[in-house]
Structure 1
Amino acid sequence: MISDTYVIAGRSFSRLRREPGELIGFLLFPVIMIVLFAYVFGSAIALPGGGDYSSFLMPGIFMQTMALTAVQAAIRTSTDMTRGIIDRFRSMPIARAAVLTGANLAELLLRLLGLAGMAGCALLLTNWSPHRGVAATAAGFGLLALFGLAMIWVGTFIGLAVASPAIADQATFSWLFPMTFLANTFVPTQGLPFWLRPVADWNPMSATVAGVRALFGNPSPSATHAAWPLQHPIGMSLAWSVALLAVFVPLSVWRYRKASPR
């Protein structure tokens, strides 16, 4: 299974040679996001209690990048199903679990490459930097990687469940992108209306962003927040990621076995 997983992952990497535009997108997207939010929006946003906004912002953008991996995973999985590639894999003497695991491993590594580029741009173009040492910084990126892996499996299930890549895009992006804003990604949740604030506080993305800020030593107005998830953000982020994996990995495998040719 391990050997087959690496073969399937290599197939995903080989696609970059035929479609170099995707790699260019990985390199340009970090710069666009940083300039748009850190310089355009950041010029008009002040944090409660003070602090540099770009240092507050970057963990949120890192999380959004990893969360949106679900969209690409859904489109990629649905495309493979539509083109009959999954059916060909089923006819081959390879481990069934390797098909999904290998593709998702490659997806995660590609997104981590984009995340590394974004972190490098942030170090060069903004005042953001980690302040708590190598171990804590590595733990922060590990938290992002785990959350990204969980979101990839969410997207994989959606891609297996819908009929076409276009529907997979709509079924993922339409709710996921707004959810990245209904969190502490770009602004603290303290200023939200009372009826909306609990949704943002218990959003898994809020816990992940707050946990990464804590590990990086970046400004976090939620440090004195009354919401339990934001008082224990690292543990809650781990719990949310593990829970998503526990639900969507078996669901994806089940759907993969039951999926009919398209």
Structure 2
Amino acid sequence: MTDVQLPAQASPAPGGAAVQEARVAVVIEDEDDIRSLLSTVLAQAGFEVHGAANGADGVELVRAHRPVVTTLDVNMAGMDGFETAKRIRSISSTYIVMLTARTEEIDALQGLEAGADDYVAKPFRPRELRARIDAMLRRPREVAPARADTTAPSSASAAAWLDHHGLRLNPETRVVTVDGDEVVLTRSEFDILADLLSGGRRVRAKTDLAIMLRGDQSVADFVSDSDARAIEVHVANLRRKLGESPSEPRWIETVRGVGYRLTG
């Protein structure tokens, strides 16, 4: 398929002058018509789009073009979407949006575990895809984990940390430590943990956490039961990385039928 390419868009600089910022997207989809539709939607959103019909070629496109966003089909011949997502995540911090059939919601949950940031069910609505991508772009990009300084921080840096039972999180540097040891989290896991820590004992519903991850109340219409289950996957992965038992939680307490809050 011929790549869809548009010139880089100008974005306003802090001083008001326009600077050139490349908005690159990669579409990995083995069905020509869907790949064409995705490319058109992203091109209309101002992206320079590169398309691949299989996972191996898609990984190479990500490596070569360093996209901001990558859409990825789950069910592809050869290397499937799960393995492709893992390989992409090992070389790139691109936002990964997985596409899955509406009747195969388990694919979406497995995709999140493989490193995807979000998913859209097929057949998808272009407006929903645009809304989800726009919301993701408003969230902080993941940065390489920095070594946290856990020894006698200054008063300024100490004020930035959120603490709870030996768990420390710095929203500015996006660093998390448990009993002094750094823990590497995905973007979604970090944002969920930061939201819970800042909320104290306030209960956060799964739907509220899903909307928070999107960063825009206008996408509330697109929150489904699958999105709530995706939050469950993120929290399960978060607990595993923190070393917490769901039955005897140290930090995150499940409020059955509602959502989550910090332990007392």
TM-score, normalisation: structure 2: 0.31
Higher strand share: 2
| Greater relative contact order (Cα < 8 A, sep 6+) | 1
